[in-house]
Every structure is written in C-alpha cells, then in structure tokens.
Amino acid sequence: MVKLAQQFVPAADEVWRLQSGADFDCRLFQEIAEQGHYAGRTQPSATRQGIYAAAPSGKLLASINSRDPKAVAEMLATALERWEALPRSERRRANLPDQPPSRWETRYPADGLVLAVFVRDVERDPRPDDWRASAWNKDFAWFTREEALALVPESREIGAERAWPAELANRLTRCNLVDCVRGQVPPFRREDVELAELVTRVAAVSEDGLELDLTGRTRAVMRGRWPVAGFSDEAAAGEQERGFATELLGRALFEPASGRFTRFELAAVGTRWGGAQFNGRQDDLAEAPIGVLFTLAGSSPAEHVPPAAIWDYGWPP
Amino acid sequence: MRALSVLLLALASGDVSAAHELHGHTLAEWRTLIEPAPAELAWTEIPWRTSFWSALSEAQASERPLLLWAMNGHPLGCT
C-alpha cells in the first residue's frame, strides 16, 4: 500500500470545505468527486468522503470509500494503469492559480505551544468484539506564545503556582476534553462547562529549565435534543445529555531563555456519558471511563493540522 | 502499601512528581495506555500533504497523479 501510494502525490484533507466551498481547489474537488463513488448522492447524506486518485487536470482515475486495505490497493493499481494510459495533454490543469486559499494552517503557532491530543476508551471490560475495542482518535491543541507563557508561574521558586487563565482552561475543556473516540463530536458550548481548573506548579529548577507539575479537574455537560445514531434517528431526535468529567495530571519542562516548553505530558482521565450524532455511542450511553493524553506535537507538516474545533477558539479570523 | 512504597521511593529520589498517580496509574502508565502503538500509526508512513491544494500544485509541477484522502474532519487530525 505504501509503495503504491508513493507513486502519487498523496494528500489528506477535510471534505466538507472541499465539497461545499467556492475556492479553486474546492471546485476542482467537486468536479473530481462527481465522477466518483458518491457522484450525485444525496441520501442518507451528500458526503463525498473517500479516497480519490485523479490527474491534476481533474480527470478521475479511480475512487473508493473503504477501510479494507486490499480494496484500496486494488483501486490504486487501477488508477495507476489509467494514469499511464492517459494522454499527456489530459494530465495537467490549465490556469492553476498561484495563490493558495486561505486556511487555518497559516495560523499555526510556531513560537507557541502545539500539543497532539490522543483520546481512547480505557479500562473497559468487556470491550466490543470489533474495531471499537481499540478505537482512538487524534486532535491538536494550539496555544499562541502569549497563551503558552500564561501557563507558567511567574515566580521561579519551587512550589510557586499559577492557575491557568479561565479562558484557556475553559477552551481545553470545551474543545479537547470531548468523546471523539469513535467519531467526531461537536465541542461543548461555553455554558456547558461546569468546572475547568488547571494549575501549574514549579516542582524543580534545573539547568534545563523549570520542571512543572500540572494538575486539574474539569466537567462539562450538554443537555438538549439531538440524534445519537447517525442518520437513523435524525428525524426523531430525543432528549439527550452528554458529559465529560476528568482529573488531570501532568508534567512539563519549560525553558525560560527561549520561552518554550521542551517537554509536555498531560493525562486527563475520568468518565464520559451520552453520545452525539456521529460518535457511535448509541449503544454505549452510560458512564464509562475515558482517557486523553496531551503531548508535544512533532514538527512534520502532518502535525500542523489545526485543531478540529479551531472555529471555537475565539481567535480573530 | 503500594502507594506508600511509591511515596518513599519518590522522597528518596527527590523526585516529587514520581509520587503522583491518577486513578491508580502513574502518568507514564497512562501514556502507555492511551498513546497509539507504532502499529496503529502505520498509515503515517505515507508522506501525506496536509491539503488538497498543496498536493495539486506539486502534482501539476511534477506531472504525477494525485491521491486524496478526504474525510469529515481532517484525516491527519480528528475525524
């Protein structure tokens, strides 16, 4: 699969903007998708999710929406055969714009703090007898330089503490302490946050910087009417409650000279309950344990993907 | 008894953080439980570009075919 993929220029991207936007790349994607596996489809949804192989001209080579590696590999092989057979005059796109579309990636806080966030069901017994047993999801949490510095005690003395600014503790609780293990879930609303307390404490001072301990507690609960079983109960949404309550424990190393965190590990462990429309909890609505891990993100382009709830950060556009 | 042993070890080593536990596990143990194993990250061996646009520009310039993985939510982030 990897060898086949290397014969393409591979990209991963969010489908909603591409299938509904008006920028050049969106319109080209729409042209490609309407030759593909979901062409013209509107029910049960109009999604154009999937894996597409295409020429830059917009000519579809092959497409599929499948988790089966064998089926995807066959699709890629077919696409390569069609690419080889495609006349050179039909491979390239005329009049490709020079300027990329405006995207949140341009707001990547290179001088701030970027965390990778992993979410997984923990200590479940029994586990489902399918992919859900080992399901996990990934997201990111971004902090501007000013926000990151606001997490560090002003005093360098051992025992000095600093409570996280309410806005940042609230944002982490709303946007990252959510049950996306089996699928996307909307962030909590500000009014859903009942508790969001995080404290950073200086545990030691070394030549490497400040060794920091992190502790905290959070709780967010949303109530209302919404579906919890994908499209099957969409027309008959019932009264729902979903919540997420955690205790947090972590440690970090902050380098005062550069103003950067050089190590960061924070675990949030607690319970989740309820479900959202697309997070696959329709048969798992009772309270259950869950874990979230925050670590420093890597430097590769793939680690520059914006947080899923970046729209709720309150950052100016 | 286990908690007391951990506390004594931490005091002996001068590492205050080591005494900390959350729901019966240390931070290192929680990291192991939650973080994906290398086998769960095999798909990251493919050098995915993070936008359709960037791959399109590169494919056009190098005259290669495009491969696009498009999902609700960014496939390299939260889907």
Q: Residue B79 and residue A183: Cβ atoms within 8 Å?
A: yes
Considering only CA atoms, which of A148, A151, A192, A144 is closest in space to residue A313? A144
- How far apart, in whole angstroms, are the C-alpha atoms of residue A295 and residue A115? 5
pLDDT top residue among A301 and A270: A270
B-chain residues near A203 (CB < 8 A): 16-17
Place of tokens 């769960």: B40
pLDDT value of position A96: 86
Q: How confident is the model at residue B8 (pLDDT cuts 50, 70, 90)?
A: very low
Name the maximum alpha-carbon separation found in chain A. Answer: 70
pLDDT value of position A232: 87
**pLDDT above 70 (res B5):** no
The model carries a pTM of 0.89
Chain A interface disruption, residue of B30, B35, B46, B68, most A CBs within 10 A: B68
Percent of chain A with pLDDT strictly greater than 70: 100
- How far apart, in whole angstroms, are the C-alpha atoms of residue A1 and residue A7? 10
Q: Token pair of B19, please?
A: 């005494």
pLDDT top residue among A233 and A150: A150
The verdict on A214 touching B (C-beta cutoff 8 Å) is no
Q: Residue B77 and residue A79: Cβ atoms within 8 Å?
A: no
**pLDDT above 70 (res B6):** no
pLDDT value of position A10: 96
CB-nearest partner of A184 from B47, B56, B73: B73
A-chain residues near B11 (CB < 8 A): none
CB-nearest partner of A55 from B49, B62, B65: B65
Residues 3-32 of A with CB under 8 A from B: 5-16, 18-19, 25, 28-29, 32
Chain B interface disruption, residue of A7, A9, A174, A305, most B CBs within 10 A: A9
3-state SS assignment for residue A157: coil
Q: Token pair of A77, please?
A: 């092989």
pLDDT value of position B12: 41
pLDDT value of position A60: 98
pLDDT top residue among A44 and A30: A30
Angle between the N-to-C axes of helices A24-33 and B52-62, in degrees from 0 to 180, rounded to the nearest 10: 80
- How far apart, in whole angstroms, are the C-alpha atoms of residue A208 and residue A226? 50
- How far apart, in whole angstroms, are the C-alpha atoms of residue A82 and residue A80? 5
pLDDT value of position B7: 39
A-chain residues near B71 (CB < 8 A): 12, 14-15, 49
Do residues A231 and A44 touch, judged by C-beta distance below 8 A?
Answer: yes
Distance of CA A94 to the CA centre of its chain: 34
**Phi/psi at B15 (5° precision):** -95, 100
pLDDT value of position A124: 83
**pLDDT above 60 (res B15):** no
pLDDT value of position A131: 87
Chain A interface disruption, residue of B15, B30, B58, most A CBs within 10 A: B30
How would you label A291-316 residue by residue, b for 16+ Cβ within 10 Å and e otherwise?
bbbbbbbeeebbbbbbbbbbebbeee
pLDDT value of position A235: 85
A137 Rama class: left (phi>0) / alpha (psi -120 to 50) / beta: beta
On average, the pLDDT of chain A sits at: 95
- How far apart, in whole angstroms, are the C-alpha atoms of residue A50 and residue A38? 9
pLDDT tens digits for range B18-75:
447 888 899 999 999 999 999 998 888 899 999 999 999 999 999 999 999 999 999 9
Q: Residue B74 and residue A61: Cβ atoms within 8 Å?
A: no
CA dihedral A49, A54, A60, A66 (to 10 degrees): -40
Residues 164-193 of A with CB under 8 A from B: 180, 183-184
CA dihedral A5, A11, A15, A17 (to 10 degrees): -160
